[in-house]
Structure 1
Amino acid sequence: MKEAIDAVKYSGKGLPETRLKTYGNTLLEAGRVNERVVCLSADLTSQTEADLFRGAIPERFFSMGMAEQNMIGVAAGLARSGEIPFVHSFGCFLTRRCFDQVAMSVAYPRLNVKLVGVMPGISSPGGASHQAIDDLALMRATPNMTIIDLGEATEVAQSVYAAIQHEGPVYLRLRRGVLPVLLDDSKFKLEIGQSYLLRRGADVGIITSGLMTERALQAAALLERQGISTSILHVPSIKPLDEEGIVTVAAGCRVLLALDNHNIIGGLGSAVAEVLAERRIAVPFIRVGLRDVYGKAATNAYLFRHFGFDPDQIAQLAAERLEGHTAGSMIGSWQQQQTEQAGWGTDWTDEKKG
């Protein structure tokens, strides 16, 4: 675990700075520097920001059509030839639809293929068929696979270079388009296998990754208003996992939460539970995520509220589990805070950010 409190740019109050198409621009930059980097897409080129690479370096871009399984096989062949292929699709298609090809053609021989799964968890408005709520479980169960769950612009940019430098298969799980900037790139360095302490407190511990880290910071700000201190451990590296960082945070809090933009089965929450059980750490523990159900077709604002992912819902859940603490109602307080600080209504997510 690395302390990264000084690297945090966003306090959880108001709205963070944002950047557009961080991943696509960084991949293009990396491709210009390293001629071994090639780009593959399966009929979702602009939707995964791979169009930026295609437009600038067309000779190293391969459109595979609506055939994800074939794309994985081609990427494996390119890797055997010494190239560093980045393959792109929505996370649900890249993992679930072609799991056998990923396992047998890429992970088993430990080939140098980088899998980029866009639209993680319930961030897609496309309904259950397009929401990657089991991708972490599938990739965690795959030997030789490295998994990085990303949710803010600084680490997304650094993840491209980290994946290139890592020899072997990597699954990058990230969101397209507009991303918050939570971390100062001059003070933060993404490392595979590392976790980052973003905030220190003695009451609540929150272990989080990806899109949920922004919400963890917002929940901590709400808890602070009630005199509740919060530690936040940001865990972009789901596999390999920094078990010692989890142990440290769990041992220093009165209630522990794991936030998952994923099914509670098989994701970060499951990984944390495994560590707690094996290390015999007794702490009240809550997994926040989809509780073994499929997603729905709706806006992000509706989906995150429906599944209990909003900051005030997370803060309320934590406060209610604290022994000796009488939790005041925080439900709705986040939307009210956003209205006061940004002049917006309650529907504050992507529809307004974009």
Structure 2
Amino acid sequence: MIDATSAVIYSGKDKAETKMKAYGHKLAEVGKINNNILCLSADLTSQTEADIFRSAHPERFLSMGMAEQNMIGVSAGLARAGEIPFAHSFACFITRRCFDQIAMSVAYPRLNVKLVAMMPGISSPGGASHQAIDDLAMMRATPNMNIIDLGEATEVEQAVSLAVETDGPVYLRLRRGLLPVLFDKTKFRLELKQSYLLRRGNDVGIITSGLMTERALQAAAILEENGISTSVLHIPSIKPLDDEGILHLASECKLLLTLDNHSIIGGLGSAVAEVVSESRIKVPFHRIGLRDVYGKAASNAYLYRYFEFDPDQIASVAAQRLEGDRVVEFKTGWDVNQAGDKETGWGEDWKDK
């Protein structure tokens, strides 16, 4: 576990700074340095920011059409030839449609393929068909797979270089378009098998990853204002996992809470539960995520509220669990329209920005 409290530039109050298309620009930039990087797209080129690489390095861009399974097979062949293929699609398509190809053609031979999965969890308002609520479960169950769940611009940019430097399959999970900037890039360094302590407290310990980390900081700010000290442990590296960091936090707090933009089955919450249950640490534990249900087609603002992912709802659950499941009334100051759903990366207006 790395103490990253000094690297956090977002207090959890008001709105965080934002950055547009951090992934796409960084991939094109790294592509200038490494000629072995190839970019593949399955009919979602501009929708996955792969068009930026295509414009910069057209000779190393491959459009595979609406054929994700073939894209994975081609990527495996390119990796065997010494190239570093980055294969792009929405998270739901690159995992559900291609699981056999990923398992047998990429992970089993441990080939150097990078799987870029956009629009994870309920970040897509496109309904159950477009919401990847089970991708972490599938990738966690796949041997040789490295998994990085990203929700912030600084770590997204660093993840591209980390993926290139990592020998073997890497699953990058992130939202396209506009992302918050939570970390100072001069102080934050993304690593595999590492967790990051963003806030320190001894009442509630929130373990989070990806897009839920911004909400964890917001929930922690609400809890702190109500006299509940809160730690936030950010874990972008879902696999390999920093077991020691999880156990350290679990041993220091009175309640452990996990946040998943995913089903509670097989995601970060499950991973943390496995680590804690195999230790001798006893701590009240609760998972927040989709509770064995499919998503819905609606705006981001509606979906986060419906599935109780908003910071005031997270804080309320934490306070209630901390008090032995008694209903706790406290002032949140949270505006349900604060997060909104503008420029989330789903609509078309973000493409030209």
Pick closer, same or farther for the CA change 1:225–1:325 going to 2, 3 Å.
Answer: farther
- The question of whether the paired residues in 1 share the 8 Å contact of 2:152 and 2:210 is answered with yes
Deviations 1:296-328 (A, max 9, x none): 000000001100100000000000111379764
Q: Aligned letter for 1:176?
A: R
| 1:98 counterpart residue number | 98
Which secondary structure state, in structure 1, belongs to the residue aligned with residue 271 of structure 2?
helix
Question: What is the letter of the counterpart of residue 160 of structure 2?
Answer: V
Find the aligned partners of 2:163 and 2:215 in 1 and give their Cα distance: 26
Deviation at 1:348, TM superposition (A): 3.3
Is 1:34 the counterpart of 2:25 in the alignment?
no
Query: How far did residue 331 of structure 1 move?
Result: 7.7
CA deviation profile, 1:168-223 (whole Å, cap 9, x unmatched):
00000000000000000000000011000000001000000000000000000000
CA contact (8 A) 1:223 1:315 kept: yes
Name the aligned partner's letter for residue 237 of structure 1: S
Q: In the alignment, what sits opposite 2:133?
A: 133
Alignment TM-score, normalising by the size of structure 1? 0.95
Matched with 2:6 is 6
Q: Write out aligned runs for 1:202-217 (5 A).
A: 202-217=202-217
Secondary structure of the corresponding residue to residue 342 of structure 2: helix
Q: Does 1:123 align with 2:123?
A: yes
Q: 1:53 Cα shift?
A: 0.5
Show the counterpart of 1:350. Answer: 341
Give the Cα separation in 2 of the matches to 1:327 and 1:293. Answer: 25
Q: Is the 8 A contact 1:316 1:331 kept in 2?
A: no
Aligned partner of 1:244 in structure 2 is 244
Aligned letter for 1:164? V
Identify if the C-alpha distance between structure 1 residues 32 and 92 changes in structure 2 by more than 3 Å, giving closer, same or farther: same
Q: Which residue of 1 aligns with 2:347?
A: none
1:314 maps onto 2:314 in alignment? yes
Counterparts of 2:45 and 2:330 in 1: how far apart (Å)? 41
Is the deviation greater in 293-302 or in 320-329? 320-329
The amino acid that maps onto 2:38 is: V
**Contact kept? 2:15, 2:338, Cα under 8 Å:** no
**Separation in 1 of the partners of 2:209 and 2:303?**
18
Aligned partners of 1:325 and 1:285: how far apart in 2? 12
1:265 alignment partner AA = I
Give the match for residue 269 of structure 1: 269
CA distance in 2, matches of 1:132, 1:40: 20
CA gap of 1:76–1:18, structure 2 versus 1, over 3 A, is same
Distance 1:119 1:325, change over 3 A: closer
CA contact (8 A) 1:122 1:133 kept: yes
- SS of 2:233 mapped into structure 1: strand
CA distance in 1 between counterparts of 2:115 and 2:325 reads 45
Alignment of 1:70 onto 2:70: yes
For residues 347 and 219 of structure 1, what CA distance do their matches in structure 2 show? Answer: 13
Per the TM alignment, residue 225 of structure 1 is displaced from its structure 2 partner at its CA by: 1.0
Q: Name the CA shift for 1:330/1:55 in 2 (closer, same or farther; >3 Å).
A: farther
- Would you say the 8 A contact 2:122–2:261 is kept in 1? yes
Aligned residue-pair number: 345
Whole-angstrom CA distance in 1 between matches of 2:289 and 2:340 = 18
Give the gaps of 5 or more residues in structure 2: 345-349
| Equivalent position of 1:160 in the other structure | 160
Determine the structure 2 residue equivalent to 1:15.
Answer: 15
Deviations 1:12-40 (A, max 9, x none): 00000000000000000010110000000
AA matched with 2:104: M
Aligned amino acid, residue 108 of structure 2: Y
1:326-337, aligned counterparts within 5 Å? Answer: 328-330=328-330, 333-335=333-335
Q: Would the aligned equivalents of 1:37 and 1:83 in 2 still touch at CA under 8 Å?
A: yes
Q: C-alpha distance in 1, partners of 2:270/2:112? A: 27
Give the CA deviation at 1:334.
Answer: 1.1
Please report the TM-score for the alignment, with normalisation by the length of structure 2: 0.95
CA distance in 1, matches of 2:343, 2:14: 13
**Paired position in structure 2 for 1:195:** 195
2:232 corresponds to which letter in structure 1? Answer: I
String of CA shifts for 1:92-129, please: whole Å, max 9, x gaps: 00011110000000000000000000000000011000
Instruction: Tell whether the 8 Å contact from 1:313 to 1:331 is kept in structure 2 after alignment.
Output: no
SS of match in other structure, 2:147: strand
CA displacement at 1:330 relative to structure 2:
4.8
Structure-2 separation of matches of 1:33 and 1:171: 22
Instruction: Determine the C-alpha separation between the residues in 2 that align with 1:235 and 1:129.
Output: 27
Aligned residues: CA RMSD: 1.4
1: CA distance between counterparts of 2:265 and 2:328? 30
Q: Which runs of 5+ in 1 are unaligned?
A: 337-345
Report SS of the residue matched to 1:25: helix
Distance 1:331 1:92, change over 3 A: farther
CA contact (8 A) 1:137 1:265 kept: yes
Match of 1:52 in 2: 52
**Quick check: 1:120–1:173 contact (8 Å CA) kept in 2?**
yes
1:295 aligns with 2:286: no
**In 1, distance between residues paired with 2:66 and 2:330?**
45
Within the alignment, does 1:280 sit opposite 2:280 as a pair?
A: yes
Amino acid at match of 1:117: A
